[in-house]
Structure 1
Amino acid sequence: MTGSRSKASYAGAIFSTLFRLFTYVFLRVIPIRWCKYLIPAFYLAYAVTIPFTRPLSPQSPSPSPPSTPEDNKQGSNAAKDESNNDFLWELLFSLPTTRVASIITWSINTLLIVFAADFVFTPLIDSAADVTFTRVGAVYPDSVKVIVRYPLIDHNATEHNVRILWRPATAADVEPWTDGPVLRLDPEFDWTNTTKLTKLWPSTEYECARIGVHEQDHATVPNSPIRFRTFPDSRLPTGSHFRFVVSSCLKPNFPYAPFQNGRIKGFDLLADYLFLESAVIDTPGIVEPVSVNDNMTESPIPLERNVGIEANGSVGNVVPATILEPERVASTEFMLFLGDFIYADIPIYHGDSKHAYRRLYRQNYNSPSFRKIYERLPIIHTYDDHEIINNYFGQSNDTPPFANAEDAFRIYNAEGNYDAHVSGQHYYDFRYGDVAFFVTDSRRYRSNPFTGETATRTMLGEAQLSALYEWLGKVNQTATFKFIITSVPFTSLWTHDAQTDSWAGYASEKASLLSALHTVANVYLLSGDRHEFAAIEFNPPNEVGVGAHVVREFSTSPLSMFYVPLVRTLRAASDAIVPRTRLRIVDEESPPEEVVEEVPMERVLKYLPIGNYKWSTIEIDTRNPEHPKLNLEAVIDGKVAYNLPIDATPVKLRSSTALGSMVPDSIKDILDRVGLTPNRWF
């Protein structure tokens, strides 16, 4: 380039470039809190320099020999190319070349500041006060929880009532609606309430709808019915075959798209995955099949293929997939959402008030993306720190910020969960057939991770820890698979702030609990929080005893939020090494031989850090009690990225005393029609 520029021109270019860089990071990479201060500061600094900048000033031409027509043509083309390059340089780095380019640069920067303002302030402006929804939460063999929000248009009203109607979905065209319970809705609870439909049959599909109590014509229902299927009776020895979805962490419209603040792309992709089955099952993805079994027989795939992270911390290669079989998979019965359903403090803290927290929940339920899921799939919740404030630990649960944050979580999500054994608590357990779940509260009772001795710190608190141990004793011989849900990772392999915010900061309680888990067959931990996917294996030390079981953890997030590019925060294995005996199959004619090998106490089976949209589906098949199976499928950005089939340990379950196993469905139907309720007998 030729010509001269003022110092203000270069200063403006620097401020403009920094403004664009931080705006891009803020809107598309990570919504870092301090960017909300830097972005307007750099924009204002750039704007201040505009009156003092000037385009290129031509230099005095130097004498040149007479030119020919060909020289003139070449010179004209060269000048044109240089002009185009100057124009592109101006647009990219805001270096002034022409008045037109300067106007375009200003327009681009102004549009970017508008986008940033839209991302930050729209959640503060949009109250979503009129959002209406009906969804299903906890599902039992004979009942279901239904959550309704239905505000009155007249905002001066103090309350109104709605009725829930229900009927079997298989005979929806001929079956009349049955009157269910009446819900009282009032502004004190944000026009939201939860009820339970009872006297239902196990493993049966129903539909329910909301109607005003004064509307007597049940033939016309004012909203689309919500379908659900009751869970099987856990006392029946029939086995289970089903899938469920697990994920955590969502922020509407991130990565940012202009003026689409109601969109949650992760839910859009999940809806396509769940409800457009042909696109999911018949289309190949990126799949790495790995066979794992608890009997420690040698896998036909080398062990190195099981480890998705190299010794230096880099991500291992993902092998191309083979085309999946078009066989129909098990139905998806529910979703476990493991926390950070809202981000109360990103990109700005919305304030410690009931209104501020409730508004964020309403905005998510008002999202057409989320509606695609919660109107078709039961969702079970726990919470993590961002429903309250970043890295929250149970300081004083009766004072800010917990009290108002818990109020909103309870109204919108917790009331729809399974009932806790102790009123007012957010840890609970439930079952699906012969599969048991314990959902922990890993925020409310945790000690300050920065004070005191490690041995005295607690993640769960005494009462919750006792409830977890009691649950383990109950399900040890009554459930084939046992899932423990914790919003933060159980493994200590994650670094940085995870060393204090996850179970790594509570090493003593973790070690004691892990020793107990090694004595129970088929225990799996499900976690989120880290905005990455990892499958972790915990190998039992010798002191646990003979017959100890491997414990595994699947950590999945975010459903729809940022991931950290370039930086890798998960170590491949722990420093602690334990001996492990496994069986190696030499050939088909020889008996398996025992092989003792040294393995890390904790090691990564697979690490997938990249991707804004992640969830895992877990398929359980216990129909053959001698060969129970689990299959994990990790999906990233809408494509299958990892597949882990596991041959689990057979568990001899205690025999059922349920009378229902001896009563034909036809007899049950007759009893039901004459007003008897045999579902209460078994």
Structure 2
Amino acid sequence: MPLTRRRILGLVPAVAGVSLLSACGGDSGHGGIGGTVTVDDGTLLPPPGAGDAASVFPSSVASGDPTPSGVILWTRLEESAIEPDQDVLWEVAEDERFLRRVAAGRVPVSALSPESDYALRLDVDGLLPANRFLYYRFAHAGVSSRAGRLRTLPESDDEVASLRLLVASCQDYTLAYFHAFGEMAQREADYVLHMGDFIYESAIVPLRPVNLPSGGQYASSREDLLTIYRTHRSDANLQALLEAHTLICTFDDHEFANDLYFDGERPRGPDHPLDGDPEAMTQYVREALDVWYHYLPVRVQYAPEAAFPNVMTAQRSFRFGRLVELAMTELRMHRSPHPCGEGNFGERQLVVESNCEARHDEGRTLLGDEQKQWLLQTLTTSSARWRVLGLPIPFSPISIAQLPPTVYEVDHWDGYTAERAELLHALRDTENLVVLAADLHAFAAATLRDGYPDGPAVGAEFTTSAAAATPIATINPPANVFLQSPLILANNPHFSFWDGTRNGWLEVEFSDQACTVTVRAMQAQIPIPNPSIETARFTVTDGVPGLA
């Protein structure tokens, strides 16, 4: 049943129902109130479709980080269209025509700022019914935004028959087209999981050019980053995806700098032009975190003035009734340096086993102690039938060449093998463990083992390829020969599937009996949209770890 006007207004004095997430962030994740946010079911909005939505709301709308009683609602106003004496209005309804209202209110336009690029992030936690698809929109100066569809979470003890997730990652506007997102917007699902690299910080290959204000090829300033986000969010396919599905996301390295890590004192980007200047690089990463926070509808703990690495705590869990518990992580802010140097080939990429014994050192971490303990506590104590771990980078060992010399990529877990072994051993009795990963620009399916190559099965891992970037097995000849499916499968017996030649996404469906994963593959480098095809399907059976 929809919330009544009496209940909505009753929530206002407690300031628990809705808050405006401001540039101040806040260590609770709800942020500071950037002005008086009024919840009022009598707020009058112009009719849906009124005015030119793109001229006032150029990035359209999005929703994210659902709870059983709300989500984060997001939009951005065009600075030149802002009327300083008129509020920004919002409403949520049961229907697309907005005839059956659930909640509504207003935000003073003075709460928006150029520092946040006039983005509005509204937390309506406490105002919405659980386990429902609902519709929402914003309005300003007589113009209505496009409508979005959101979904709240079930209550934690609800019986849920099924859950369907679309899993994507890695979109570089300059290297590929966003065809995948247009099709994903049309597919029925409960939520979208984005595993990181929502943008790329570089503007090198101009398939679709992005001209950075700094004139450089890598973002080095706040305005550069805002330009990249504005450009990505101007894409009609990405807008359609975020309008259609509520987002759950994390970040990886390209929101900041390639192979980002933390050296104990400050963030480092070994390939980034600012890395040689500690003060400049630190400030740049702070700006990148802030822009990510304002451009994504996320509910995270954010303390902008804190010392690194405590600026942001992005790990969080989502409970889909009794069916699924999802633990989403980030693996950049607390990670140790790379094990055998910060150079490119031979140190971070295509690393020869005999030259990098340090990758096995105890104490090397991707998660950091606090996040690791949180992860283990969340997954091992959950009462949900399926326990799902969201990782921005692949978990399974990936030997690129087994004939001597054996070669690895150590920006992934192969550079942090002791921590991986610790986690897999600690999770060995965790029933129905499924890992969803990304970053590799390849599709993969593997059995997780407590000891490789023949330890007991612990769970199953599925990696999604890049939705819109170059697939890994199509670049850097002749090295890409080693990244083709026959060699990867021969060198890694725990893998059941590998495809580094295509873009796309995963469709993951959970029921009491099984987890079913479908690989949807297509090409993103050609300008003409091409429908995806199902290239593989896998089933993980309830109570049976790993892949058959």
Contact 1:134 1:226 survives alignment (8 Å): yes
**1:555/1:420 Cα in 2 relative to 1: closer, same or farther (>3 Å)?**
farther
**Structure 1 or 2: larger helix share?**
1
Contact 1:149 1:192 survives alignment (8 Å): yes
1:206-252 Cα offsets, whole Å, 9 max, x none, are 2111123x76xxxxx7123222232222212x233121011211122
Alignment of 1:515-664 (within 5 A): 515-541=425-451, 550-563=458-471, 564-565=473-474, 567-569=481-483, 572=488, 603-611=494-502, 613-622=503-512, 628-637=513-522, 638-649=532-543
Query: In structure 2, what is the equivalent of residue 59 of structure 1?
Result: none
> Which stretch shifts more, 460-469 or 198-207?
198-207
Give the superposition deviation at 1:482.
1.0
Contact 1:440 1:485 survives alignment (8 Å): yes
Please point out which of 162, 184, 188 is paired with 1:241: 162
Contact 2:489 2:496 survives alignment (8 Å): no
TM-score by length of 2: 0.69
Please point out which of 194, 200, 205 is paired with 2:121: 194
Tell me, in whole angstroms, the C-alpha distance in 2 between the residues paired with 1:205 and 1:617. Answer: 19
Contact 1:480 1:650 survives alignment (8 Å): no
Query: In structure 2, what is the equivalent of residue 352 of structure 1?
Result: 220
AA matched with 1:175? R
Tell me, in whole angstroms, the C-alpha distance in 1 between the residues paired with 2:427 and 2:123. Answer: 34
Tell me, in whole angstroms, the C-alpha distance in 1 between the residues paired with 2:311 and 2:157. Answer: 26
SS at match of 2:61: strand
Give the superposition deviation at 1:189.
0.9
SS at match of 2:90: strand
Query: In structure 2, what is the equivalent of residue 363 of structure 1?
Result: 231
Give the superposition deviation at 1:366.
0.7
Tell me, in whole angstroms, the C-alpha distance in 1 between the residues paired with 2:123 and 2:408. Answer: 38
Tell me, in whole angstroms, the C-alpha distance in 1 between the residues paired with 2:163 and 2:182. Answer: 22
Tell me, in whole angstroms, the C-alpha distance in 2 between the residues paired with 1:139 and 1:631. Answer: 23
SS at match of 2:435: strand
Tell me, in whole angstroms, the C-alpha distance in 2 between the residues paired with 1:363 and 1:525. Answer: 31
Tell me, in whole angstroms, the C-alpha distance in 1 between the residues paired with 2:535 and 2:144. Answer: 41
Tell me, in whole angstroms, the C-alpha distance in 1 between the residues paired with 2:544 and 2:466. Answer: 33
Give the superposition deviation at 1:416.
2.3
**1:268/1:494 Cα in 2 relative to 1: closer, same or farther (>3 Å)?**
farther
AA matched with 1:162? V
**1:334/1:141 Cα in 2 relative to 1: closer, same or farther (>3 Å)?**
same
Query: In structure 1, what is the equivalent of residue 292 of structure 2?
Result: 409
Give the superposition deviation at 1:490.
0.6
**1:484/1:181 Cα in 2 relative to 1: closer, same or farther (>3 Å)?**
farther
1:41-90 Cα offsets, whole Å, 9 max, x none, are xxxxxxxxxxxxxxxxxxxxxxxxxxxxxxxxxxxxxxxxxxxxxxxxxx
Query: In structure 2, what is the equivalent of residue 469 of structure 1?
Result: 376
AA matched with 1:608? D
AA matched with 2:433? V
Query: In structure 2, what is the equivalent of residue 175 of structure 1?
Result: 100
Tell me, in whole angstroms, the C-alpha distance in 2 between the residues paired with 1:390 and 1:345. Answer: 9
Contact 2:441 2:500 survives alignment (8 Å): yes
Structure 1 gaps, min length 5:
1-127, 216-220, 256-262, 275-330, 576-599, 623-627, 652-682
TM-score by length of 1: 0.56
Whether 1:513 aligns to 2:423 is: yes
Superposition CA RMSD, Å: 3.2
AA matched with 2:66? V
Alignment of 1:323-472 (within 5 A): 331-347=188-204, 349-395=217-263, 396-397=266-267, 399-413=282-296, 415-417=297-299, 424-433=312-321, 434-450=323-339, 454-472=361-379
SS at match of 2:424: helix
SS at match of 1:518: coil
Tell me, in whole angstroms, the C-alpha distance in 1 between the residues paired with 2:416 and 2:458. Answer: 21
1:613-657 Cα offsets, whole Å, 9 max, x none, are 2100001112xxxxx211110011110000112221199xxxxxx
**Structure 1 or 2: larger strand share?**
2
Alignment of 1:142-291 (within 5 A): 142-153=69-80, 161-169=87-95, 172=97, 174-176=99-101, 178-180=103-105, 182=107, 184-197=111-124, 198-212=126-140, 222-236=144-158, 238-252=159-173, 254-255=175-176, 263-272=177-186, 274=187
1:91-118 Cα offsets, whole Å, 9 max, x none, are xxxxxxxxxxxxxxxxxxxxxxxxxxxx
Give the superposition deviation at 1:177.
6.6
Tell me, in whole angstroms, the C-alpha distance in 2 between the residues paired with 1:176 and 1:512. Answer: 50
Give the superposition deviation at 1:468.
1.0
Q: How many residues are paired up? A: 415
Give the superposition deviation at 1:562.
0.9
Structure 2 gaps, min length 5:
1-54, 205-215, 268-278, 304-309, 341-357, 402-406, 475-479, 523-531
Identity %: 21
Contact 1:345 1:390 survives alignment (8 Å): no
AA matched with 2:517? L
SS at match of 1:169: coil
